[in-house]
Structure 1
Amino acid sequence: MYAAVTLFVFMCLTATTHADHHHQPCHSPNMTGFMTVWTLKGDVRAFGAFTYDSMGKKLRFRSNESSPMNTSIGLDLLMFFDEGVFYEIDSKNQSCEKKSLQCSLHPLDIPDDAAFHAAYNTGSPSIEGEGLKVNVWSGSMAGSKGHYFMSVTMGCLPISTFYICDSTTFLFSLSDVETEIKDPDLLTVPSFCVGQPLEETPEGTVNSFLNEFM
């Protein structure tokens, strides 16, 4: 896996073919699927199901504890990007924490200020059904010296996002994506979280979807 991650980094940093400065960032549709979070060393940081509302800017991510993968963290996150808040949910204990969201960057949509980096074909473009054309978008991460590279299909479905951060590096990989919200209730605040007060954010802390995996 380490070799695969390294290869992806190399492709993002060196792919410059078919560059077109007239490209504008697209925005992902509603999605349901699975997300795997890798470190550069090839460790699986988390694996779980996600539900994304592209219009409402809402995201639910739940780690799959029954996964055969050895993950290092378990999470149940409900993010409201437009409202600038999110919930860390513990369904087993019927409890949650409500926190402010300082950074809205996440791997399921291309930021408006992203720059078109490159286009390339995975697999074989000359054999029907054996290739996939991908656009790569890149940009800087607010509040840090980090950068990201996001691979997206021509239909604007994210495939993977590579984050180069100050302290570590992550690869977010999506699989079994469907362009629908199968369970809208997942994007509503659980009853035991309603009325939860907003916790104070310690000085110097930046809450974001990405930082939950640090």
Structure 2
Amino acid sequence: MYAAVILLVFMCLTATTHADHHHHPCHAPNMTGFMTVTNLKGEVRAIGAFTYDSTAKKLRFRSNESTPINTSLHLDLLVFFEEGILYEIDSKNQSCEKKKLQCNLHPLDIPDDATFMATMTFGSPSVEGEGIKLNLWTGSMRDTKGKYTMSTTMGCLPLSALYYTGSTTFCISNLHVIFVSLPHSHVDIESEIKEPELLLVPSFCQGLSVEETPEGTVNSFLSEFM
């Protein structure tokens, strides 16, 4: 399984790599953009817009029901990683589920204990302006006994994240990268929070009690796609 996962990430990159053991995990800035979640078979699980506050560690993800791709999940998630709370929002029915978050791992931030793998070039390193350098990171998912591989630009903007645990593997990537191709022109990530109100708990969700977590269940952003 490990070899298959690494191949999926590396096949989209050139073979130009050089290790550097002095890299330390960076942290992404505030972001607004689009992402897609697929499994190892290439099946799209969800696709939609996200807003991320890197300082307050808040993330909103809303799957885009207007996309022409037939996705298997329609989600509206609001995650407070510092508080350890995840909201599943149903705006149509004005209802919410409030859950305790057991795992803080998510695709927009590199964990502090991540291990640097290599710097690679996306595209052609020999043609000026045609290559983008990426840093690759890897680590263990302690809560699910799985592993992950993440790639970022040199400025720490996340490009893709691959998670694998047991028999389930997910590749989460931003849509303006070639891991996923969609017929839209507005999928670039912006280093700002364009709609801060999206990171507020909706009025119909306020005052809810945290639901009990069944034994053996791990609530996390990633588990919503499994």
Q: Is TM > 0.5 for Structure 1 vs Structure 2?
A: yes
Judge conservation of contact 1:34–1:49 (CA < 8 Å) in 2.
yes
SS of residue paired to 1:172: strand
Judge conservation of contact 2:51–2:193 (CA < 8 Å) in 1.
yes
1:36 maps to 36
Question: Which one is further off, 47-56 or 196-205?
Answer: 196-205
Query: Cα 1:122–1:48, aligned 2, differ >3 Å: closer, same or farther?
Result: same
Judge conservation of contact 2:84–2:101 (CA < 8 Å) in 1.
yes
Could you tell me how far apart the structure 2 residues matched to 1:83 and 1:16 are?
Answer: 41
2:76 maps to 76
Judge conservation of contact 1:47–1:64 (CA < 8 Å) in 2.
yes
Could you tell me how far apart the structure 2 residues matched to 1:143 and 1:100 are?
Answer: 14
Shift of 1:166: 1.1
Could you tell me how far apart the structure 2 residues matched to 1:118 and 1:145 are?
Answer: 23
Shift of 1:127: 1.4
Could you tell me the percent identity over the aligned residues?
73
1:21 maps to 21
Deviations 1:134-174 (A, max 9, x none): 00000001123311000100000000001111131110011
Unaligned runs of 5+ in 1: none
Unaligned runs of 5+ in 2: 176-187
1:145-156 correspondence runs (5 A): 145-156=145-156
Query: Cα 1:6–1:23, aligned 2, differ >3 Å: closer, same or farther?
Result: closer
Could you tell me how far apart the structure 1 residues matched to 2:158 and 2:71 are?
Answer: 22
2:49 maps to 49
TM-score, length-scaled by structure 2:
0.88
1:120 maps to 120
Match of 1:206 among 210, 218, 223: 218
Structural RMSD (CA): 1.8
Shift of 1:92: 0.3
Could you tell me how far apart the structure 2 residues matched to 1:104 and 1:181 are?
Answer: 21
Query: Cα 1:59–1:90, aligned 2, differ >3 Å: closer, same or farther?
Result: same
Shift of 1:126: 2.0
Could you tell me how far apart the structure 1 residues matched to 2:36 and 2:193 are?
Answer: 19
Deviations 1:23-76 (A, max 9, x none): 000000000000100111010010000000000000000000011111000100
Judge conservation of contact 1:16–1:117 (CA < 8 Å) in 2.
no
